Amino acid sequence: MKRLMTLSAALVLALSSVLAVAQEPERFVRYSQGGGEISWGMVHGDEVFQLAGAPYDTMEHSGTKFDMSDVRLEAPVEPTLVFMTAFNFRSHITGDPAEYPGLFIVPANSIVGPEDPIIRPAESQNLHYEAEMAIVIGKRAENVAVADAHEYIFGVTAGNDVSERAWQGGDIQWVRAKGSRGFNAVGPALVRGLDYKNLQITGRHNGEVVQGQNSNDLIFNMEEMVSYISSYFTLEPGDMIWSGTMGSTRAMVPGDTYEVEIEGVGVLKNEVVQGK
């Protein structure tokens, strides 16, 4: 009987270990080699295993793997629509919160990856950082209830919503100020299985911590954003929703670096370079 109990305890421990591993967050990247074709991959330790497509479409492995040190990380997203949220942290607003989310769209090709520079346009006067959390949609969403929205959120990544404040204040729309070429850095990974309602977001300007807040301080959380946006627009797999930033921001100049760190996702670090 004692031997049976020992075996049973060992079996329970083994099953618990398997379940714990199964529940660990899954990390996905997009990568290239030598400037060649860009592929999706799933990260295990220091290796990336190539997928047959985007992870929200297929988990089929191609049979190819690489050491992470041998690949170039690209932006871990392929959106058609990129929705951003304005004034969504209380620390970033003055006065009372709005009754509904401040929403705007930027071009998908404004997105760059964790190894790309942030491009400061030649006529830019006041280029600011904005540390944010972004989610990626996993399946088509229309008129989604808040209670069901978690079923449509595939994963989380870090983003820097670079903003030209002079243009933002002077233009009729924010598309140039928020969506110019090279403005929106994303990465280093897309992670599934994190509690996106409770993640610490940290921003560092040249190594100095200048932004920091938890995602539980959002005025409209990401499930509310999915529900709100899907009431008016059809969200497709791969589309993005950004959280909005926290606190105050300052200007960046060429040679500066900005880091956005989200627990469980990693550190997104980009250098500012002068554009033409």
- What local confidence, expressed as pLDDT, does residue 36 receive? 84
On whether residue 234 sits in a domain, the answer given is yes
pLDDT for residue 106 is more than 80: yes
pLDDT for residue 22 is more than 80: no
Residues 68 and 194 grouped into a single domain: no
Other Cβ atoms closer than 10 A to 59: 12
Residues 198 and 67 grouped into a single domain: no
Q: Which residues of 99-119 are buried (b: 16+ CB within 10 A; e: fewer)?
A: eebbbbebebebbbbbbbbbb
Residues 111 and 239 grouped into a single domain: yes
Q: Which CATH number belongs to the domain containing residue 46 in this structure?
A: 2.30.30.370
Residues 173 and 261 grouped into a single domain: yes
Indicate the pLDDT class of residue 138, thresholds 50, 70 and 90: very high
- What local confidence, expressed as pLDDT, does residue 96 receive? 79
Indicate the pLDDT class of residue 98, thresholds 50, 70 and 90: confident
Q: What are phi and psi of 191, to 5 degrees?
A: -120, 130
- What local confidence, expressed as pLDDT, does residue 95 receive? 74
CA distance 20 to 15: 9
- Residue finishing a domain among 40, 73, 106: 73
Amino acid, single-letter form, for residue 234: T
- Residue finishing a domain among 41, 56, 73: 73
Residues 224 and 181 grouped into a single domain: yes
Our count of domains for the chain comes to 2
Residues 129 and 210 grouped into a single domain: yes
Residues 179 and 204 grouped into a single domain: yes
pTM, rounded to two decimals = 0.90
- What local confidence, expressed as pLDDT, does residue 4 receive? 39
Q: Which CATH number belongs to the domain containing residue 178 in this structure?
A: 3.90.850.10
- What local confidence, expressed as pLDDT, does residue 276 receive? 86
Structure tokens at 233: 């627009």
On whether residue 216 sits in a domain, the answer given is yes
Residues 66 and 86 grouped into a single domain: no
Question: Which range of residues forms the domain containing residue 58?
Answer: 26-73
